[in-house]
C-alpha cells in the first residue's frame, strides 16, 4: 500500500515544488538584486521578471509613520529582447508545467494514461521544463540587468545584477523538474491492482423424509473457495 502511494504521489509532489520555485523566480521581487556603486546609503534594488521591491511610507493617526516594503508590477521600462525572452519562457514554464501536473494527477488517480503517454509526460518534466526554466536566466544578459537599474533612484549608478533568493529557487526548480520526470520513469506508471476472482461456495445439503410425509432440508457443510479462471479450466482439459 505504501509503495503504491509513493509511486502515485512522490513525482507529483516534486513537480509541485518545482512549479512553486518557478513562480517565485518569475513573479517574486527578490530574484536578483543591484547594489549602488557610489552611495551606500541608498537601498539595494531587488526585482524579478515582472515585479520590483518598493519602499513606501504609510501614515497613521497622530503623525505616526512607518516605512513598508512591497512587491509591485513594473511596466514602464524599456525591455530588450533578452528580458522579453526570459519573461516568455517563465510564463511558458508555469503554463505547461501546470497542465503537466494536472495530467499526472489525473493519470495517477484514474489510471487512464498508457505507458507511452506516461513516458512522454516524464520526458516533458525531464527535458522541456528544465530547459525552459533555465532559459529564464536570459534576464541576466539583458540591458536592464547589465547597464542600469530597472528602478530610477536619484540618478545614482548601480552595478550589474547579483544572485538573490529567487535565483536560487530557480536553480532548485530546474533540478526538481528533472527529478520529477526521473522518478516517473523509475517508479513506472501507476497501475490499478486487478480485482480478485469472486469467491464461490460449495454447500452440502441433507434431505430427510419425515414419517408424516414432509421433507426437511438441512445444510451440513459449506466449502469456500475462489472461482476458477477460464484459462485454468482450459489447461485442466488439455491435461
Task: Encode pLDDT of 30-75 as tens digits.
Answer: 888 877 777 666 677 788 888 887 765 565 555 555 556 667 777 6
Residue 79 pLDDT: 76
- Contact between residue 71 and residue 56 where contact means Cβ atoms under 8 Å apart: no
Burial string for 188-206 (b: 16+ CB within 10 Å, else e) reads ebbeeeeeeeeeeeeeeee
Residue 238 pLDDT: 47
Helix (H, G, I), strand (E, B) or coil at 155: coil
pLDDT above 90: percentage of residues in the chain: 26
- CATH architecture, range 2-187: Up-down Bundle (1.20)
- Is 234 a residue whose pLDDT tops 60? no
Judged by average pLDDT, the poorest of 20-34, 172-186, 190-204 is: 190-204
Rounded to 5°, angle at Cα 19 from 98 and 125: 70
User: What cell does 122 get?
Assistant: 516524464
Which helix (H) or strand (E) segment holds residue 52: the answer is strand 51-60
Q: What own/partner pairs with CB < 8 Å and gap ≥ 24 does 198-203 have?
A: 198/226, 198/227, 199/224, 199/225, 199/226, 199/227, 200/224, 200/225, 200/226, 200/227, 201/225
Model pTM score:
0.71
Domain boundaries, the chain: 2-187, 199-238
Amino acid at each position: 500500500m505504501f509503495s503504491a502511494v509513493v509511486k502515485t504521489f512522490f513525482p507529483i509532489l516534486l513537480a509541485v515544488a518545482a512549479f512553486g520555485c518557478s513562480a517565485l523566480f518569475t513573479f517574486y521581487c527578490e530574484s536578483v538584486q543591484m547594489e549602488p556603486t557610489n552611495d551606500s546609503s541608498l537601498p539595494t534594488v531587488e526585482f524579478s521578471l515582472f515585479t520590483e521591491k518598493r519602499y513606501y511610507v504609510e501614515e497613521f493617526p497622530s503623525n505616526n509613520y512607518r516605512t513598508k516594503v512591497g512587491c509591485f508590477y513594473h511596466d514602464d521600462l524599456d525591455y530588450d529582447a533578452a528580458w522579453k525572452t526570459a519573461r516568455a519562457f517563465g510564463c511558458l514554464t508555469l503554463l505547461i508545467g501546470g497542465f503537466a501536473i494536472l495530467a499526472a494527477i489525473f493519470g495517477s488517480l484514474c489510471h487512464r494514461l498508457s505507458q507511452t503517454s506516461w513516458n512522454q509526460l516524464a520526458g516533458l518534466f525531464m527535458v522541456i521544463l528544465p530547459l525552459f526554466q533555465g532559459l529564464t536566466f536570459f534576464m541576466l544578459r539583458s540591458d536592464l540587468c547589465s547597464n542600469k537599474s530597472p528602478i530610477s533612484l536619484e540618478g545614482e549608478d548601480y552595478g550589474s545584477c547579483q544572485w538573490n533568493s529567487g535565483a536560487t529557487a530557480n536553480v532548485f526548480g530546474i533540478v526538481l523538474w528533472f527529478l520529477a520526470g526521473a522518478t516517473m520513469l523509475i517508479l513506472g506508471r501507476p497501475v490499478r491492482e486487478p480485482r480478485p476472482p469472486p469467491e464461490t461456495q460449495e454447500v452440502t445439503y441433507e434431505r430427510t423424509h419425515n414419517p408424516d410425509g414432509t421433507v426437511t432440508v438441512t445444510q451440513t457443510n459449506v466449502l469456500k473457495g475462489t472461482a476458477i479462471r477460464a484459462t485454468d479450466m482450459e489447461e485442466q482439459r488439455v491435461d
